[in-house]
Amino acid sequence: MIFGFTLFDIGVLVVSMLVAMTVHEAMHAYVGLLLGDTTAAEQGRVSLNPLRHIDPFMTVALPIITLVVFQAPVLAARPVPFNPTRVRFDEFGAALIALAGPVSNLVLAAIAALLLRVAGVSGAIAEALYLFVSLNIALFVFNMIPIPPLDGSRVLYAFAPEPVQQFMRQLEQVGLILVFGLAFLGGFAGVLTTINETILRVLLGW
């Protein structure tokens, strides 16, 4: 057992994260392509190959560091590029590209939850499905936080008035540091936990 996780848990989490991350990033790229921007496609990002989306620091080194320091792994994939001048529907098109990633995680969670509810599985398979559901819900909720550069900020940006948009542009450079700082200091941990648990109960029918 490592930091409270069994080797089975770690294996399931690694596989689940690779699947969730890959689908998330590939959907960003795919929706961008549908909306007329070939930037991500030209870089091979419309792909279900995890290697296309791994960043050496954010995906490999960072989770090891945060697991040792905080006993909780934090990681991110290599961001999917897009050219806003090539995307149809302007800011709303960019919002659709951003929304595609988190929504794909929610869909993955819903599919796994349905299997868990109707397949009658138990033991290790049930535990793996539960971890997969929980992880994808957590990714959905976290990425929908409306602080740049998270996906939720791009959705908010499309509907926000100009003063708010200007503030969000200024926040872009330090937004991720702010998000992690609030998370580690417990700034909105209770809110995120409540949202996670609510979605989990709905999907699992508890």
**What is the phi/psi pair of residue 10, to 5°?**
-65, -45
CA nearest 168: which of 104, 107, 95?
Answer: 95
With contact defined as beta carbons under 8 Å apart, do 21 and 50 qualify?
A: yes
Burial annotation 145-168 (CB, 10 A radius, 16+ → b, else e): bbbbbbbbbbbbbbebeeeeeeeb
Cα 101 from Cα 31, distance rounded (Å): 9
The answer to whether residue 25 is catalytic is yes
Radius of gyration of the chain (CA): 17
Own/partner pairs for 169-176, CB < 8 Å, 24+ apart? 171/147, 172/148, 175/147, 175/148, 175/149, 175/150, 176/148, 176/149, 176/150
With contact defined as beta carbons under 8 Å apart, do 80 and 45 qualify?
A: yes
- The active-site residue out of 25, 42, 172, 197 is 25
User: Rounded to a whole number, what is the distance in angstroms from the first to the last CA of the chain?
Assistant: 29
Cα 48 from Cα 72, distance rounded (Å): 26
Active site residues: 25
